[in-house]
Amino acid sequence: MEETIAKEFEELSKRAPEDLQRERTLPDGTKVQSWGPFVYGYSVTVGPDGKPKVREFGNFKAKTQLGKPHMDVKEKREPLVDVMDADGEVRVIVELPGVEKEDVKLSGTDDKLTISVDTPQRKYFKEVELPAKVDSKKATSKYKNGVLDITVPKKKEKKTKSETIKIE
């Protein structure tokens, strides 16, 4: 098991994107290569149906590619996101530590929110699929202490009358 993990990290270091590689020089003149930071985590919540929901976040994910384990590393981190479906609205809470309010870009459609940050120090990106159709033009958001809180009203569904269908 340990050999497999060591091999995987060795392969990862060979495949690491150029923008994640950094060459540093120690005081004695020795050059050192490093990659990162690598961030990975998951959040487990219980949905209204009583079933657990697992959401991953970070900038790398373990995948299987052509039957072999593979690590997909990205420059931009996927922030921790929590989505709550309430009666007339959808609320999305996003953790963006170390980010200034002015650096957050937020956009939305009727079924998706896109959050991104692109600064030299921090890079985040997440597309959040919403559990219901919403009116993104009426969205409100607050940002404080690295937490973005977005509230979007759901679109009102028009009820259609039941029509009689003639059987031939």
Per-residue tens of pLDDT for the chain, all 168 residues: 566 777 776 776 666 554 455 566 767 777 665 556 667 777 777 777 888 877 777 766 666 667 776 666 667 888 888 898 888 999 999 999 989 999 999 999 989 999 999 998 888 999 999 999 999 889 999 999 999 999 999 988 765 565 655 555
Number of structural domains (the chain) is 2
Whether 166 maps to a domain, the answer reads no
Task: For 8, list phi and psi in degrees, rounded to 5.
Answer: -65, -45
Same domain, residue pair 6 and 63: yes
**Domain's final residue, options 43, 78, 113:** 78
The pTM score is 0.60
Q: Give the domain CATH number at 110.
A: 2.60.40.790
Length of the chain: 168
Name residue, tokens 């497999």: 4
Domain that holds residue 14: 1-78
